[in-house]
Amino acid sequence: MSGNSFGKLFTVTSFGESHGPALGCIIDGCPPGLELSEADMQRDLDRRKPGTSRHTTQRREADEVRILSGVFEGKTTGTPIGLLIENTDQRSKDYSKISEQFRPAHADYTYMHKYGVRDYRGGGRSSARETAMRVAAGAVARKFLEQRLGIRIRGYLSQLGPIKAEKLDWDQVHQNPFFCPDADKVPEMEAYMDALRKEGDSIGARINVVADGVPPGLGEPIFDRLDADLAHALMSINAVKGVEIGAGFDCIDQKGTEHRDEMTPEGFLSNNAGGVLGGISSGQPIVASIALKPTSSLRLSGRSIDVNGDPCEVITTGRHDPCVGIRATPIAEAMMAIVLMDHYLRHRGQNADVSVSTPVIGQL
Amino acid sequence: MSGNSFGKLFTVTSFGESHGPALGCIIDGCPPGLELSEADMQRDLDRRKPGTSRHTTQRREADEVRILSGVFEGKTTGTPIGLLIENTDQRSKDYSKISEQFRPAHADYTYMHKYGVRDYRGGGRSSARETAMRVAAGAVARKFLEQRLGIRIRGYLSQLGPIKAEKLDWDQVHQNPFFCPDADKVPEMEAYMDALRKEGDSIGARINVVADGVPPGLGEPIFDRLDADLAHALMSINAVKGVEIGAGFDCIDQKGTEHRDEMTPEGFLSNNAGGVLGGISSGQPIVASIALKPTSSLRLSGRSIDVNGDPCEVITTGRHDPCVGIRATPIAEAMMAIVLMDHYLRHRGQNADVSVSTPVIGQL
Amino acid sequence: MSGNSFGKLFTVTSFGESHGPALGCIIDGCPPGLELSEADMQRDLDRRKPGTSRHTTQRREADEVRILSGVFEGKTTGTPIGLLIENTDQRSKDYSKISEQFRPAHADYTYMHKYGVRDYRGGGRSSARETAMRVAAGAVARKFLEQRLGIRIRGYLSQLGPIKAEKLDWDQVHQNPFFCPDADKVPEMEAYMDALRKEGDSIGARINVVADGVPPGLGEPIFDRLDADLAHALMSINAVKGVEIGAGFDCIDQKGTEHRDEMTPEGFLSNNAGGVLGGISSGQPIVASIALKPTSSLRLSGRSIDVNGDPCEVITTGRHDPCVGIRATPIAEAMMAIVLMDHYLRHRGQNADVSVSTPVIGQL
Amino acid sequence: MSGNSFGKLFTVTSFGESHGPALGCIIDGCPPGLELSEADMQRDLDRRKPGTSRHTTQRREADEVRILSGVFEGKTTGTPIGLLIENTDQRSKDYSKISEQFRPAHADYTYMHKYGVRDYRGGGRSSARETAMRVAAGAVARKFLEQRLGIRIRGYLSQLGPIKAEKLDWDQVHQNPFFCPDADKVPEMEAYMDALRKEGDSIGARINVVADGVPPGLGEPIFDRLDADLAHALMSINAVKGVEIGAGFDCIDQKGTEHRDEMTPEGFLSNNAGGVLGGISSGQPIVASIALKPTSSLRLSGRSIDVNGDPCEVITTGRHDPCVGIRATPIAEAMMAIVLMDHYLRHRGQNADVSVSTPVIGQL
């Protein structure tokens, strides 16, 4: 299986470049009988869509997804689901300059060395444009998980550059263009982004994702632990440089007595584990956090080299997100949904007939 | 492919429990013609081996590996390499108590809910004992990468609880029981560990791993990016709760102009990317960092439940590492070696005939 | 990886139902730098296309394929190739009757028991309509194999019901609607098919496929032997009930001295092996043969049951091939091309640096 | 996943050479809770074991299997099962001659061209010795299928060279050294084999395998159809040159009305399909048949070349089966068991909650 597929029983395979005719994906392994329509995916796609506020790229894509197979009379049939999004706003511009230069911190240089050729129009395959299909596929997983198992997956921006959210009010997350759960910080974020845009610079961000209602038992040690697959999925999102589960890097100076989540018949007393013990879900909320680097497409000139290895100065024009983290919330949610879905099916395949007398305890 | 295999062309499949008769693994896909003997693996196994200082578990395992296949007249043949380590120090003790209780922060509870049964002797499959086979398999990858490509993979402990290494002196790493590259911090670490042992508590740690000499081009976007597979591999190590590539979480409040690694004909000017751009190696050193949680096996009593869901107090006796991070350095190196090896073969498979006129620049 | 993907490094993933809006596939792992256009695929698609003679179904599909990604400036880029064929001739008919009955020897009954639901329009996913995407993907593999390695893959119909081709004249294969290499048998086949059509019955066929120019070394024992993967690929084609490599079932009463292909410096003296020894290509032509069952869609009434398990009589109306074998030649070629391509990349990945002093001998 | 693994959820990975220290395999994905001991495997291993009659090789291997992991207190735990068989009868002989020559119809020449090196002792990895691990792994699958689903898998030799079994009396199969179900033919077979041994020649055979009690619904179209995976598994057995499902090659001159298996509420009226429709099990018996070529290891001299490409005459001494087909019955059963097990788990993973009101009909 080559690098554009993810998942072993719920398998998402994707194609498409930023400025090609279309993006698409195939979901193979979705169980039959799930009610599914384009609207289910459109909701999440619209949350990811560019151009919805002045803080994201002004590229405008309808991002209208079409279901081409796998759904019959409104329900999935168990056969592969083909999805397609036509690219509509491929601005015809002169790419001759960028075709000869490598933008610093971009995939230009590495694609050239890997493939010997690259589609330089808008970053081609390395563009975050491909994440649209992740969101569409994730929406299918999410619907199944919600309907059949009562699992709810939600994310939020917990930090934008130096500004940290200090409150987690889920109701606020969709009330502002940042997916920020702390309403008090939104004005500060807006001012920060406005200044940044003027400067021409960009900034990093942190996104947290939480899944509630996950049953215990998901995860396939020793290599396909649930947290390992989550790390894989989340690190595969463009611009992500770090992944934490539960306490994450804070565990370094925690003592064992502090870190360990004690258990009572009423539930776990804390969740430093982030819902995963020994690579298997514990019934607590699954908690992950990711770091997204600042966009590298800047109009501020940077030193680089051209295809001949000669030095040059690169300025990136065009429409870019000054903080890619802002739009990453639905993408991270989607990847978590895909991982949980895949692991649910794998677990069911191997352990469907397991019965356990020990009661499930949740989070206190 | 179930959860105990890792890698697509260089595939490591592992078996074995802490207190079973043996551990083993099969390496499938190792290219033929590599000189290989047990000694190549023993070197790394000995670095991981318990009982080498007072700061690790006193369990004593010879950890002697045998090659059972795939090597003929001192060289690999291209057929699968079978490896075996017999368990020698399976102390016969009374497990009746622990068999009925779930140790907090352990895999006991989740294994029970997943499988309906668990081998409670020493943690069974969830014990870090299985990492011995990772180290053995990693040694094969490491040797190939070093001999054929000049890649060198090295790790060190960069933080033990509150104590951070402030210097990176590679020569120091093997001069102390912590894999600490800063000799000045070693006495402090020793005192800290001695106090901790008296207390009966445990502590977390941070390990960094660096690969030098990796050619540009390794990594398979969009899902099997090199950094995504590294995150998968490293997060699959017992006790790991976080993974960073390059600047990692520090990128959150970096601006684009600060984070981007500018390029000159003489080399990259910085390495915030950690050697990976767009999911593909750039020719810079690959840099990863992981957080390991404190051991949960403590003699300090903790609240928990038993198999009937009733409350209980758990005390873990037996021999345990107060800081699992200490022995994790060779394991993290091994997983990085396996990932790079697998990606080298995958890249070669798909792009063996690519020729690029752009010169490779390294790190300045 | 779920059931709609084939190949490990050259991976084809397919979607689409007979009467859905479109069929599509994603080819992941095609090496970069291959010149590719729709015309390369159209040639093979046209050979498979229905409605080209009175002996095949009269359903008319343009089968026009569009490349949606992975090709830039006329060459593959190493990123996934998205292909799409819109369904144009989905005749709106009343499926209400068939939706309640299971046609004998069809997938109706098994799809219902597997998925609990089925898209009964034209057979849905179980229709041979999906083979169009196999042909399109196979054309890409075929072009690479031909251009880079000089491999030529050709097939022909060697038996139609009771009528066996007795001569193998490659030039004849495309001179008749049967892909028959023996011109003398064509009139007999035409008469036979005309009679059959009148009767309302159908008939089986045998197709042979041969690949010339395959280098020695392809195949991954012990499970992914080249012949095992070929058997998998060919048996996965609709209606295939048997697969032979080389002498096939004739080897049952061959003696060892008769079966073994002796070797001389000038080449192998025979090819009972069909080009595969120990699961690895020998440099001889790869020879496979498949049996295709007669179509089950007949206007001659057959006993069956309905969705309630009650007895019924089924008559299949609509447009169907009286001999599906006729159009199977390009499909079998395509599957052989995909297998060889995948194995070439896998072999290169693991053994790219092998050098052998023993000369390659071909077929005498 | 490299070539020495088979199965996606029930994954068997194998290692070992004919004359190495040991053979082994890892079964990953076996559900927990299955009672399992070495005796369960030994039964099948003993049926495959050489040296049990004068008609098979006189090499004597105890073939005693040890379970190294994955079983606790007599039951599987859901973790990987490590199996080991030590090689005991590696006769130390002079291989210097054969190391320089390629035996005709052997893997010698192709292994050399693939890997650049080969373990020539007894055929190394290409020896049928590896099938011992297939049998051991198959025994685990078989036990699960029998205990949990009531599936019974049985095979027999249906043809030995020119001699065809004409009766299928299951009780006879284990009453003679040929696994022949027709007692009347046994004397003829014995005489034939005795003559053959004197001659120094070898002969092919046909083996049939039947699985009863398979529920409808197993198989993953379009590529991992049940019959396609069976073809893969069976063709991967040493010496197999052809695979048939149900009517197999006989379907070529069957008419549709003759081939189609009509259905009644009481059951299917025939089984030309061999229990698979559209790639999915129908509830009828799964019927497969394979052709095994005659052994190539003959003491009758054959023309060949040496490692320099020069002509030579090869005589194979040593202990070899004059008809490898004879011992292939348990191997073919094992591979069918592994395929059915894997597909059962895959089906359950994706469709565990499907409920169908249509009654299951069996075979009339």
What is the largest distance, in Å, between two alpha-carbon atoms of chain A?
69
For chain A, where are the alpha helices, taking DSSP H only?
38-48, 108-115, 131-149, 186-199, 226-235, 256-259, 329-351
Q: Residue A265: which domain range?
A: 5-351
Chain A residues whose CB is inside 8 A of the D31 CB are 350-351, 353-354
Chains linked to D by 3 or more Cβ pairs within 8 Å: A, B, C
- Residue D234's pLDDT band, with cuts at 50, 70 and 90, is very high
- Residue A296's pLDDT band, with cuts at 50, 70 and 90, is confident
Phi and psi at A51, nearest 5°, equal 80, 15
User: In chain B, positions 16-75, which contact chain D (CB-CB < 8 Å)?
Assistant: 16-17, 20-26, 28-29, 32-33, 66, 68-70, 72, 75
Residue B306 forms part of a structural domain = yes
- Mean pLDDT of the C319-344 span: 93
Q: Cα angle at B148 between B147 and B149, to 5 degrees?
A: 105
pLDDT beyond 80 at C318: no
**Residue pLDDT, tens place only, A66-112:** 999 999 999 999 999 999 999 986 665 667 778 899 999 999 999 99
Which pLDDT value is given to residue A92?
A: 58
Residues in Cβ contact with D149 at an 8 Å cutoff, skipping those fewer than 6 apart: D213, D214, D215, D344
Core vs surface per residue A335-349: b (16+ CB within 10 A) or e = bbbbbbbbbbbbbbb
Q: How far is A264 from chain D (nearest CA, A)?
A: 26
**Residue pLDDT, tens place only, C143-169:** 999 999 999 999 999 999 999 999 999
- Mean pLDDT of the C56-85 span: 91
CA A160 to chain centre: 17
Judged by a CB distance cut-off of 8 A, whether residue B305 touches chain A is yes
DSSP per residue, C277-310? ETTEE-SSPEEEEEEEPPPS--SS-EEEEBTTS-
> Residue B38 corresponds to which amino acid?
E
Residue D122 forms part of a structural domain = yes
Judged by a CB distance cut-off of 8 A, whether residue D303 touches chain C is yes
Cα D279 to Cα C128: distance, rounded to the nearest angstrom = 12
Nearest to A76 by CA among A35, A133, A25: A35
Among B111, B203, B265, beta carbon nearest to A305: B265
CB B261, CB B310: distance < 8 Å? no
Q: Taking CB atoms and an 8 Å limit, are B69 and D22 in contact across chains?
A: yes
Residue D359 forms part of a structural domain = no
Cα C264 to Cα C218: distance, rounded to the nearest angstrom = 21
- Kindly report whether the peptide bond that precedes residue C222 is cis, defined as omega within 30 degrees of 0: yes
Residue C233: left if φ>0, alpha if ψ -120 to 50, beta else—which one? alpha
CA C133 to chain centre: 11
DSSP C49: -
- Kindly report whether the peptide bond that precedes residue D222 is cis, defined as omega within 30 degrees of 0: yes
The CATH number that applies at residue D96 is 3.60.150.10
Among D20, D33, D116, beta carbon nearest to B69: D20
- Mean pLDDT of the D15-22 span: 95
- Mean pLDDT of the C211-218 span: 98
Reading the block at residue D213, the tokens are 């009690």
Cα D323 to Cα C251: distance, rounded to the nearest angstrom = 12
Question: Per the annotation, does C303 bind a ligand?
Answer: no
What burial class does residue C306 get, using C-beta atoms within 10 Å of its C-beta: 0-12 exposed, 13-18 middle, 19+ buried?
middle
Q: Please, what sign has the CA dihedral across residues D210, D211, D216, D217?
A: negative
Which pLDDT value is given to residue D37?
A: 97
**Residue pLDDT, tens place only, C90-106:** 665 667 778 899 999 99
**Residue pLDDT, tens place only, A100-129:** 999 999 999 999 999 999 898 888 999 999
Number of domains observed in the structure of chain C: 1
Cα B260 to Cα B326: distance, rounded to the nearest angstrom = 33
- Residue D93's pLDDT band, with cuts at 50, 70 and 90, is low
Reading the block at residue D327, the tokens are 């011992």
- Residue C211's pLDDT band, with cuts at 50, 70 and 90, is very high
Question: Per the annotation, does A114 bind a ligand?
Answer: no
ipTM: 0.97
Which residues, in sequence order, are bridge partners of residue A71? Answer: A76
Q: Taking CB atoms and an 8 Å limit, are B2 and D119 in contact across chains?
A: no
Is the pTM higher than 0.80? The answer reads yes
Chains linked to C by 3 or more Cβ pairs within 8 Å: A, B, D
Q: How far is D186 from chain C (nearest CA, A)?
A: 17
Residue C134 forms part of a structural domain = yes
- Say which range, B1-5, B318-322, D223-227, D263-267, has the weakest mean pLDDT: B318-322
Residue B357 forms part of a structural domain = no
Which pLDDT value is given to residue D364?
A: 84
Instruction: Identify the segments of chain B with pLDDT beneath 50.
Output: none
Residue D336 forms part of a structural domain = yes
The residue with tokens 């912590």 is B178
Question: Per the annotation, does A278 bind a ligand?
Answer: yes
The residue with tokens 């508590």 is B201
What burial class does residue C264 get, using C-beta atoms within 10 Å of its C-beta: 0-12 exposed, 13-18 middle, 19+ buried?
middle
Give percent above pLDDT 90 in chain A.
85
Judged by a CB distance cut-off of 8 A, whether residue A84 touches chain C is yes
Cβ-Cβ contacts under 8 Å between A and D: the total is 51
**Residue pLDDT, tens place only, C339-350:** 999 999 999 999
Tell which wins on pLDDT, B317 or C30. Answer: C30
**Residue pLDDT, tens place only, D275-300:** 999 999 999 999 999 999 999 888 89
Reading the block at residue A217, the tokens are 């038992």
> Residue C83 corresponds to which amino acid?
L
Which residues, in sequence order, are bridge partners of residue B289? Answer: B208, B244
3-state secondary structure chain D: CCCCEECCCCEEEEECCCCCCEEEEEEECCCCCCECCHHHHHHHHHHHCCCCCCCCCCCCCCCCEEECCCEECCEECCCCEEEEEECCCCCCCCCCCHHHECCCCCCHHHHHHHHCCCCCHHHHHHCHHHHHHHHHHHHHHHHHHHHHHCCEEEEEEEEECCEECCCCCHHHHHHCCCCCCCHHHHHHHHHHHHHHHHHCCCECEEEEEEEECCCCCCCECCCECHHHHHHHHHHCCCCEEEEEECCHHHHHHCEHHHHCCCEECCEECCCCCCCEECCEECCCCEEEEEEECCCCCCCCCEEEEECCCCEEEECCCCCCCCCHHHHHHHHHHHHHHHHHHHHHHHHHHHHCCCCCCCCCCCEC
Reading the block at residue C172, the tokens are 């004849």
Reading the block at residue C90, the tokens are 């989905």
Which residues, in sequence order, are bridge partners of residue D280? Answer: D277
Which pLDDT value is given to residue D49?
A: 78
Q: Please, what sign has the CA dihedral across residues B82, B83, B86, B87?
A: negative
Q: How far is A305 from chain D (nearest CA, A)?
A: 38
Which pLDDT value is given to residue C348?
A: 96
In A, minimum Cα distance to B227 occurs at A235
- Residue A360's pLDDT band, with cuts at 50, 70 and 90, is very high
Which pLDDT value is given to residue D2?
A: 86
CB D94, CB B52: distance < 8 Å? no
Q: Taking CB atoms and an 8 Å limit, are D9 and A346 in contact across chains?
A: yes
Q: Taking CB atoms and an 8 Å limit, are C350 and B9 in contact across chains?
A: yes
CB C326, CB C179: distance < 8 Å? yes
Question: Per the annotation, does D289 bind a ligand?
Answer: no
**Residue pLDDT, tens place only, A164-205:** 999 999 999 999 999 999 999 999 999 999 999 999 999 999
pLDDT beyond 90 at D131: yes
Q: How far is C73 from chain D (nearest CA, A)?
A: 32
Cβ count near C357 (within 10 Å): 9
CB C116, CB D355: distance < 8 Å? yes
Q: How far is C222 from chain B (nearest CA, A)?
A: 9
Rg (CA), chain B: 21
